[in-house]
Structure 1
Amino acid sequence: MTDATPRVFQTSGKVWLKDFEFGLTGLKVRKTGAHVPYSPSVIAQVTAWFRYFFAAQRIEPMQPHFKITFAPERARPWYLIWAVSRAAGAKYVKDAADADVVMHFEDATYSPNDPPTKLKANAKLVNFTCRDVSKTNVARACAAAFGNTLAVDPVTFTGLAVEKSEINAAHDGRIVQCPTKPVPGRVYQRVVDNRMPSDLNLVEDLRTSTVGGKPVVVFIKRREVTKRFLNTNVDVQLRTPEEMFTAEEIEQISAFTREIGLEWGGVDVLRDRTDGKLYIVDANKTDMGPPIGLNLPDKIVATRRLSKAFRDFVRGAGN
């Protein structure tokens, strides 16, 4: 543990606490309004996260350092960029005018924020063109990048469809029979059959972290088909993009990120077992992670890979 770690707690502890309202049976996330009950599974997840947090602190930051800030919100330690940027050699500063890197950071579906007006000469701006990660925009970008149509019209479509919230990270999807009357604020998409060929009781999501618009690591997330829209995984594994996608598919994922302006973040990729095609069903510019279910050594491997890619991106290596 570096001697900088105590200062992390001293300067951030009170800030973290302001993000939550603590009750008798659970806590409420102020930003999203989500209620998290106190339960053995939640406690286990929190414990796993702290193990990763302390392990990530042991990664020696790359040299030389550079300065980073976030706007309009500061990234908290449970967001992946916090550990990755630190390992990449970033030091947090409050004033955007003093930062080498300014990252657009707001945990919201729609973020129409402009960069700060006072910036350092040649400061690197990240994600400021990523203003809309709604399901409608994700489906549009998926069609543009892959040529695969995800959205359906519930009034004219016949068959099963996924109905879910337009809002990002709601995990409230359900399968409905179409044609049906659309519900305001909901979107309708084709059902991607991402069940595993070896076990049809499990679905497989390919959570792909991207830096500079390019896939860097893939987290294979498997869960029971009855819980396909929840974030309760029974198995998580780390892979490289080259292990999971063809060269053409990697370029298509990059094309998707360009469509929505995502320079840092994660995308949920599904492969349909019936036709082998890829569909991106979700994009997140304020990615949390690595996934709780991944083993700790692989979490550190993923963090190191992402930190190198992030450092190369913000410093212009290879451009």
Structure 2
Amino acid sequence: MHRALWWKDFEFGDGVVTVKKTGARLRLDPGLVGEVLSWFPFYFVVEGWRMRRSSRSGPKIWFAPDRPRPWYLIWSVLHAAGARIAKSESEADAVFFFDDSTISGAVESPASARAINRDCQSIAKSHVGTVFEQCFGYPLNVDPTQFTGELVRKSEANGAHDGQIIQGPCAAEPGFVYQKLIDNSIAGDLVEDLRCPTVGGRIPLVILKRRARSDRFANSNAGVEVVETHTVLSASEQAQLAAFARAMQLDWGGLDVLRDKSDGRLYVVDVNKTDMGPPIAMAMDDKIRVTKRLAAAFLDFLHPSAALEQRTRS
């Protein structure tokens, strides 16, 4: 089993699970219990990869300041790639700066090791909106005191999932960002998010996440579909998203992208440098396929020859 005592990351009390690192609070209800039980089969698949490949000579990755837990996407990708978590920083082939915090401090890394996400120090929603406008040429963030009509209010904090549609103009509250309301609705009274896993600026595939319009800001999905990147993003849009990832200094992560039905434009509404996944609602075969695809992309990002070796071994 995974040797890190990951269950100590949580506090339980009064029917609520609290994530110690971020302070996020989850109601311990049948839905949450069902999601956890649905997650375990994939966890055991990845454990099998880890045990079979732990003795192989894959790249060694050191994580700082935190070590990824099994529900983070990089944990399953790491083991699918045949990579290993380094025992010390000095032996690492790469140093992955892994921190759930919205704003992280600068961290030093050995000159000999590849640095991943070292300089991605802010994923605050206001910063994401500023960088987005610089790269795409049109705004996402709005001034609520000057905006008339429906807008979205969100916490600046990572992983809050507390978006609300409110009416402007209104006073700006500290700790919140205000964004244009994107019409990403599709048939069936659903909304659709484009989760774009990003490795070195490249998007190997896109995960379409669909949920009821009434649950548009929730963290659960009514359906999930994996598609090839070129089927939903043009070449120029992929180039814009790559430029955005570079501007965010994001080497690895997930971009939450919405396409506005009214004008066809893309909007990057969130950046995840410690993204979770694969999504619970995804079929097991798709979870395995997505993880292996991202593992190949991760190895290619670290070293092209290592990626070739991994694909041959698989």
Regarding TM over 0.5, the answer is yes
Partner of 1:47: 37
2:221 paired residue among 212, 216, 233 = 233
Amino acid at match of 2:175: G
Partner of 1:272: 260
Per the TM alignment, residue 24 of structure 1 is displaced from its structure 2 partner at its CA by 5.8
Per the TM alignment, residue 27 of structure 1 is displaced from its structure 2 partner at its CA by 2.7
1:98 aligns with 2:91: yes
Per the TM alignment, residue 148 of structure 1 is displaced from its structure 2 partner at its CA by 2.4
Q: Matches of 1:168 and 1:209 in 2, distance apart?
A: 17
Q: Matches of 1:53 and 1:145 in 2, distance apart?
A: 37
Partner of 2:202: 214
1:76 paired residue among 69, 82, 85 = 69
Amino acid at match of 1:240: E
1:151 aligns with 2:141: yes
1:246 paired residue among 234, 237, 240 = 234
Greater Cα offset, 170-179 or 61-70:
61-70
Per the TM alignment, residue 207 of structure 1 is displaced from its structure 2 partner at its CA by 0.7
Unaligned runs of 5+ in 1: 1-5
Structure 2 SS opposite 1:74: coil
CA root-mean-square deviation: 1.7
With over 3 angstroms needed to count, the CA separation of the structure-2 counterparts of 1:64 and 1:242, relative to structure 1, is: farther
1:293 paired residue among 260, 281, 303 = 281
1:223 paired residue among 163, 188, 211 = 211
Q: Matches of 1:222 and 1:99 in 2, distance apart?
A: 39
Partner of 1:112: 105
Cα displacement string for residues 261-304 of structure 1 (whole angstroms, at most 9, x for unaligned residues): 10000010000001110000000100100111111100000000
Partner of 2:181: 191
Per the TM alignment, residue 316 of structure 1 is displaced from its structure 2 partner at its CA by 4.8
Structure 2 SS opposite 1:193: coil
Amino acid at match of 1:209: P
Partner of 2:310: none
1:130 aligns with 2:120: yes
Per the TM alignment, residue 64 of structure 1 is displaced from its structure 2 partner at its CA by 4.1
User: Stretches of 4+ moved more than 3 A in 1?
Assistant: 57-64
Q: Matches of 1:223 and 1:243 in 2, distance apart?
A: 21
Contact 2:46 2:79 in 1 (8 A): no
Amino acid at match of 1:226: S
Q: Matches of 2:157 and 2:16 in 1, distance apart?
A: 23
Structure 1 SS opposite 2:211: strand
Partner of 2:152: 162
Greater Cα offset, 26-35 or 272-281:
26-35
1:263 paired residue among 243, 251, 257 = 251
Cα displacement string for residues 186-228 of structure 1 (whole angstroms, at most 9, x for unaligned residues): 11111110001x33x1110001101112112211111111111
The TM-score with structure 2 as length reference comes to: 0.92
1:25 aligns with 2:18: no
Identical aligned residues as a percent: 45
1:308 paired residue among 287, 296, 302 = 296
Q: Matches of 2:27 and 2:164 in 1, distance apart?
A: 23
Unaligned runs of 5+ in 2: 308-314
Structure 2 SS opposite 1:215: coil
Q: Matches of 1:161 and 1:37 in 2, distance apart?
A: 27
Structure 2 SS opposite 1:216: coil
Q: Matches of 2:95 and 2:148 in 1, distance apart?
A: 46
Cα displacement string for residues 86-141 of structure 1 (whole angstroms, at most 9, x for unaligned residues): 1112111231111001000001110123123xx2x631110001000010111112
The TM-score with structure 1 as length reference comes to: 0.90
Structure 2 SS opposite 1:18: helix
Q: Matches of 1:181 and 1:304 in 2, distance apart?
A: 47
Per the TM alignment, residue 61 of structure 1 is displaced from its structure 2 partner at its CA by 4.8
